[in-house]
Structure formats: C-alpha cells, structure tokens
Chains A and B, each alone.
Chain A
Amino acid sequence: MVQISLRNEADEARHSSGLASIAADLSSDQRAFKNVSWGKAMMWIFLLSDTFVFSCFLISYMTARMSTTVPWPNPSEVFALEIGGTSFPLLLIAIMTFVLISSSGTMAMAVNYGYRRDRVTTAVLMLATAALGAAFVGMQAFEWTKLIHEGVRPWENPWGAAQFGSSFFMITGFHGTHVTFGVIFLIVIARKVLRGDFDTGRRGFFTSRKGSYESVEIMGLYWHFVDLVWVFIFAFFYLW
C-alpha cells in the first residue's frame, strides 16, 4: 500500500471511456465529478435527499390506502369539474399538470439563454416559469377550496376513508410548498440576471459570494425535480 506517486494511475485511465473513465474520475484527486461545480453537486445531492422525503410520503400514503378498511373515494369523481352540466373527470388536474410541465420547457430555455449571456430573454423566461408555477399553485388553491367546500377535511370526508383527505392535503401541500419556494427563488434569480449580477460579479447579500449564470441551471435542476415529483403524485394519487 505504498502510495507515493503524485500523479496516480488514474490520470492515464482518464483517457479511456465508459465505466473506466468514471472509475478514473472517482479515483482522481480534488474532484470526484470533473467539471461539476460545488453548487450543482450540492443541488443534486439535496434532490436525492428530497427524493427520499417524497418517497416516504408516497409510500406512507399507499400503505394507508391499502390498509384502510373503509373504501377509498374514487379520484375521477372527486377531482371532476362540472362545466355546463357535464362532469369532466380530472379536468383541473390535467390543466395543472400541463401548466407545470410547460413551465419546465420555459425553464430549460432560460438555462440555454442564460449561458448565451442573453440577460433579458433569460429573465423573461424565468419570470414566465415563475408565472406558470404561481398559476399552478393558484389552481391548487382553487382545488383545495373546492374540496373543502365539499366537506373534505384532513380528518374526514363525505365519501370514504378519512386518510384520503389527510394524504391529499399533506402531499399536495408539501409539493405546493416546494413549488412556492421555487417561484420565490426564480424571481430572486431572475432579478439578479436582469441586473447583470452574474456579469459584474456582484456579491450575494447573504453569502457575499459571486454568482454565475450556472445559478440559472441549478435553479432549473430544482424546478425540473419538482415537476418530476408532480408526475408521480399525479400518477399515484389521481390516476390510481
């Protein structure tokens, strides 16, 4: 185990590809993931941790749903909208999902324009993303209001298992909180982009560190994650 080399064998292996190059990166010095900044690594690991939070929520919900002795309310009836006398199952949710997925598109475009140093377009796209996110939260508030008017409470509902309301408010509430935080940070970063902070090297108010256009991408990682989580909530809560 005498290791006294300066350059280890990994440097040579780095010219290979596939698994060998991953192994080479991991066994190299300074950084395990080459060309990945600290902020981006932090966000990925945070999202991994957050994945466990949402997984625990969803698995707990599924356990409750499977073990309850009282019938579970039928989601396509509960989440139906009545327009002109016709009941459209899952209409609102379909719109909400469409809005949120679309916001991922504007976010991805913002990242692209950010790296091109196109400040105005980036900021506009980020604000559009924030607006779509806010619209999503707004529709969620509408959905909550509607259900509460129909008598759904965390502890009871008119149609069946009490855990329906509990899980619904808890999981959509937790996801909605994530979206809300996302909207706030989108606006904060859009302001920084518009002001040119990432070009002038202006330091952050709290951290006194210089930011870069990569912040837009890191914000994007979070935003796409929140979107992805919604897909699972949609599938497991509304479609099941």
Chain B
Amino acid sequence: MVDVPLGVAGVPLAEVEDVELYHPKSWLTHYVFSQDAKIIAVQYSVTALSIGLVALMLSWLMRLQLAFPGALSFIDADAYYQLITMHGMMMVVYVLTALFLGGFGNYLIPLMLGARDMVFPYANMLSFWFYLLAVVVLFASFAVPGGPTGAGWTLYPPQSITAGTPGLAWGIVMMLVSLMIFIIGFTMGGLNYVVTVLQGRTRGMTLMRMPLTVWGIFTASVMALLAFPALFVGAVMMLFDRLLGTSFFMPEIIEQGARLPYGGGSPILFQHLFWFFGHPEVYIVALPAFGIVSDLISVHARRNIFGYRMMVWAIVAIGALSFVVWAHHMYVSGMNPYFGFFFATTTLIIAIPTAIKVYNWVLTLWRGDIHLTTPMLFALAFIVTFVNGGLTGLFLGNVVVDVPLSDTMFVVAHFHMVMGVAPILVIFGAIYHWYPKVTGRLLSVPLGQFHFWVTFLGAYLIFFPMHYLGLMGVPRRYYEMGETAIYPPSAHDLNIFITVMALLVGAAQLAFVFNLIWSLRHGRPAGGNPWRACSLEWQTSATPPPHGNFGKELPVVYRWAYDYNVPGAPEDFIPQNQPPLAGEIASRAP
C-alpha cells in the first residue's frame, strides 16, 4: 500500500537509493582490482575466452587422435581421457557459464536496467578473483604429478577415484577444489545479478519492460544459485571419499584381487547430485543465449519482438522445468523404469516453451527489415542450430530411443549442437553486437563475415556427420576405434573428415581473435548507438560508458525495449527513455 509520490512532470521519484559508487584512486583499483561491473565484465570475458582457446586446442588433440590413432606419440589412452575431461569441464563451466553470467551479465544488467553499477560492487569484484583462482587451480592440475583427472567431465565415481583413472593422485582433487572455489565465487556474483535485477532498476523500468537479455541472464542466475549447491555437495563428498576414505559414493570394490577399503556407498547418488546441477546447467547456458538472440533479432530486423510476454514466461517455464528432468541423463544407470517414464515426460514438455521461443523468433523475422549484419548472421545461425540440436534432444529424451544411442557419438553430436555450437554462436553474435559499446569501435565486417561463414558451415560439417557415426554405433570416449570390423570404412573416413574440419574451424577463430585486437585501435568509430537500438545501454552519456554509466541523471524509462518501426515516429526506433511522443497513446487501458 505505497503511494507513489510524483515529482515534476509526473515522473515518479526514485525509490531506489543511488549506489554509493566506489571511486578508484589508483591505476590498480581502476583496472585490476576494479569494482566497476564493466571492467569486471571485461576481465571475466577475456579470461573465459582465453580458456576457450585452450579448450579448443585440447579438442584438436582429441580429434587428431581419433582420426590418426597413434600419430601423436604423446597421446595415449590416459592422455586422451585427460583431454576429454578438461575440454568438457572448461567449456561448460569455466567458459560458457562464466562468459554468459560473469561477462555479459556484469556488462549488460546494470546498463540495460539503468543502474549505476551492481548493487554490491565489492562482492562482485571478489567474484571475479575467486573465478580466477578457480581457473589457476584447474590449470595447475596440468603441472601436478599424474596430470589432470581423466574421469570424464561428469566425474562419475567409482572410476573417478579408483586406480587406472589418470590423475588419481592430484588431478581429481584439484578439479573438485577448483569447482568448489568457482561455485563460491559464482554465488557472490549471482547474488549481485539477481538483486540488481529485482531491486536496482531505474525509474519506469518494470520487470516486463526489461530486455529479454536481462530476463535470460536473471533466470539463469537464479537457476545457478539453486543448482550449483548440488554440485558443491557432490564435490565435497567426493573429495572426502578421495582424501578421508569415506564411502559416500563408493560401493565395495575388488581391484585385482584386493578389496578396496570402501564399501556401502552409492555411485548413483553422485549421478543424481551431478545431474541435478548438470541439467539446469544446460539452461543456465541456454537461457542467456535465448535472451541475447531475441534482442539481436529484434534490433537487426528492425521489428519488435513477437510475443514478448510469452517469451518471458517461456524463459521462466524452461527454468522451472529444467529442475525436474535431470534423470534423463541416467536412463542406462539402472533406474526404476517408472522414473524413466516420469523424466521422459517432463523432458518432452520442455519442448513446448522452447518451441514457443523458436516460433516467436521466426515470427519476429517475418516481414522484418532484416539487416544481415555480423551479429544478425550469428543470431540466425543460432536459430537453425538450436532447432537442429533440439530435435535430436527429442530422440535422446525418449527412454527407448535413448538406450541404444547412449554413449555413442550421437550424444556427442547432440550436445555439441545444442549446448556447444548454439550458445557459442550467440556469444560471437553478442560480441560483434556489443563490442562497439565496450570499446567505442566496430569490429571489422569482412573479417566478421569470414569468421561467421567458416564457423557456421564448419560446425555443421563437424557435427552433422557425428550423428551418422553415432547411429552406426561408434561409441564416444573411446580413444581409438581400433581394428573394428563392424564399422565400415566410411566411418573411419568420416572421422578423418571431421578432424580436418575441426582443425579448420579452430584455426578460423584466429581471425576472430585478430579482429578483437586489431579493431581496438583500427576499427571504425562506432558512435553511441551504431545499431540504432532502443535499449538503455545504447543511450549512455558517452561511449564507452563512464564510471557510473549514465552521467549525472539516471535515465527514466517510458516504454519497452522493442519500439522499432513505430508508425508515425520520426525515426525507425524509439529509445526506452524517450517520453511519449505527441500523438502517441498515453497509456494502455488498465
């Protein structure tokens, strides 16, 4: 029962206290130990992209081994499993999660909501340094005796902590500790993102006027705060199993005639904990991508997003549903078949809100004024790729279809399409889109086009044939197929083809890295709003936005973020902070 006091000209007074900005006094507190969300965002992004390059090179080594077994003398079975584990964990947690939430979240949430900064800048800074520490610990595991763990990115016990798995001595311990540090760091960041969205918006910015990017990142942050605890607990318990000799996850095991000191634990328990985190994790990565792609499509098709409210509710519904589907990763783990039925049903239900989103993207494009800019190309590529990966998800979500396809290359192809390629296409699109805001300069278009076509077509040439390999029964996680007569020669040839494509696509990323560095100095000056977009981050007082983002006065929001090509408006876009124009309908009827 709060009366909203009205100031001059009917503008509601600010009810949110202005952030007490921390004003850095030295170069060190300005650029290194910065509490400014924009700098933290760049720190997060650069770190995550660098890890991405390392993880990419690990995948090269894996592909080389698969195509030309034994050609690289330093890759034996152990090394292969170490590569696979580190590639998977780095990409999923340290690249995608960190980049979407830590990178884009930090940059875009305050700017898009008209806030000065995140609500707790100090905790935000700590979040990055914890993340960096987690990364250092993870990379240090390459240098310890025995090397990093080779347990697979899912770290399933008992094999993850029994002899024969590489990295038993140190690698698995470093991995678990690194994950725990990451989760603690993320919690500090995640609380910031969630509270800023809920309680730190500017005047006029209602939840239903937020750009879908913010909705995606917000929902993903809430999910991460609720899903990471399961991984944290799983990591703690496995660490105790490994270091203290407890048996949470370890059943009685006879190893080479000797009985291990374990007994009575449940390996399935770890799988439940892991996937209670692991499945929401897929959407923690996907939802920010959904949000960002909605904005890219709307801006570059000069058309309001179709079905905004449905888009928001679809994001929320996907977020909620993703907590009740986790055991579809465990159909072959020996679960009660009735559970399989339940989890298959919930899994397929997710297709509904997801399909709503895809239809709305397509309907946004319909009769739009489509500009095929680099970000738009990536956004369009995302829709296609995501539909593709989503359709194979329907295969794997059904128990009877999943059982023969389990642990084949089909699974690898599926999740790389839907969780690897699709979000990374969005990341590229988003970087091409927001780089001008971060640096004040546009990225080179020819390089961007080259990067796009090689990446997009190349990714299909890599992962499409993998479906075929999977249907033939080629298993995943085998470091070589060996002299297996059951696979026709075409399978071996395809493996070589995939590897060549992977090398090419990987190398093409150098064009992107070069573009990022070169355009910093030589890019075309962008001006404040190169894409003529409506949302608030393009209406800052200067570009790149200064400390405090908006100069003296915070913007006041009068409309949603998608007023493109409004009939009668002087320009083809109306910024969110533009007061109602003459002749515009003043208010919707309540």
A interface residues with partner B (beta carbon < 8 Å): 1-15, 17, 21, 26-38, 41-42, 45-46, 48-50, 52-53, 55-57, 60, 63-64, 67-70, 154-155, 161-163, 165-166, 170, 174, 206-210
Contacts and interface: CB of A to CB of B under 8 A. Distances in A.
Contact of A166 (B1, B22, B240, B586): B240
Given A29-B203, A161-B264, A64 B269 contact: yes
A152 B362 CA distance: 63
A57 B194 CA distance: 25
Interface in B8-59: 10-12, 14-16, 20, 22
Contact of B559 (A3, A26, A53, A210): A3
- Chain B contact-residue range equals 35 or more
B122 A170 contact: no
B247 interface: yes
B560 to A, nearest CB: 5
B120 A166 contact: no
Contact of B233 (A5, A41, A60): A60
B395 interface: no
Interface in B178-197: 187, 190-191, 194-195
A4 B559 contact: yes
B199 A31 contact: yes
Contacts of B237: 60, 170
B586 A5 contact: yes
Contact of B10 (A7, A9, A36, A163): A7
Contacts of A154: 240, 244-246
B229 A49 contact: yes
Contacts of A3: 208-209, 559-560, 588
A3 B248 CA distance: 55
A38 B120 contact: yes
Interface string B211-243: 000000000000001101110111011001000
Contacts of A67: 266, 269
Contacts, number: 196
Interface of B: 1-2, 4, 6, 10-12, 14-16, 20, 22, 119-122, 187, 190-191, 194-195, 198-209, 225-226, 228-230, 232-234, 236-237, 240, 244-248, 261, 263-266, 269, 273, 276, 304, 308-309, 556-560, 562-563, 566, 579-580, 584-588, 590
Given A5-B580, A27-B207, A210-B20, 16 more contacts: A4-B585, A6-B10, A6-B558, A29-B205, A32-B198, A32-B199, A36-B199, A38-B200, A45-B195, A52-B226, A64-B269, A154-B244, A155-B244, A163-B265, A207-B120, A208-B22
Contact of B204 (A15, A26, A29, A207): A29
Nearest to B234: A56
Nearest to B187: A49
Contact of B263 (A7, A55, A162, A165): A162
B580 A30 contact: no
Contacts of B206: 8, 10, 27-29
B2 A14 contact: yes
- The 3 A-B residue pairs with the shortest CB-CB distance, nearest first, are A9-B590, A5-B587, A166-B246
A35 B584 CA distance: 33
A13 B52 CA distance: 49
B22 A29 contact: no
25 contacts: A2-B563, A2-B588, A4-B587, A7-B12, A27-B208, A29-B12, A30-B16, A30-B205, A33-B199, A37-B199, A41-B198, A48-B225, A49-B190, A52-B229, A53-B233, A56-B232, A64-B264, A64-B265, A68-B264, A155-B244, A155-B261, A162-B263, A170-B236, A170-B240, A210-B20
A57 B61 CA distance: 38
Contacts of B122: 206-209
B518 to A, nearest CB: 38
A31 B233 contact: no
Nearest to A5: B587
B269 A163 contact: no
A50 B201 CA distance: 26
Contacts of A9: 587-588, 590
Nearest to B261: A155
Contacts of A208: 20, 22, 122
B229 A31 contact: no
Contacts of A162: 246-247, 263-264
Contacts of A4: 558-559, 563, 580, 584-587
A208 B121 CA distance: 10
Contacts of B585: 2, 4
Contact of A11 (B4, B194, B198, B226): B4
B273 A56 contact: yes
Given A31-B199, A36-B199, A1 B308 contact: yes
Nearest to B113: A30
A49 B225 contact: yes
Contact of B198 (A10, A31, A209): A31
B366 to A, nearest CB: 16
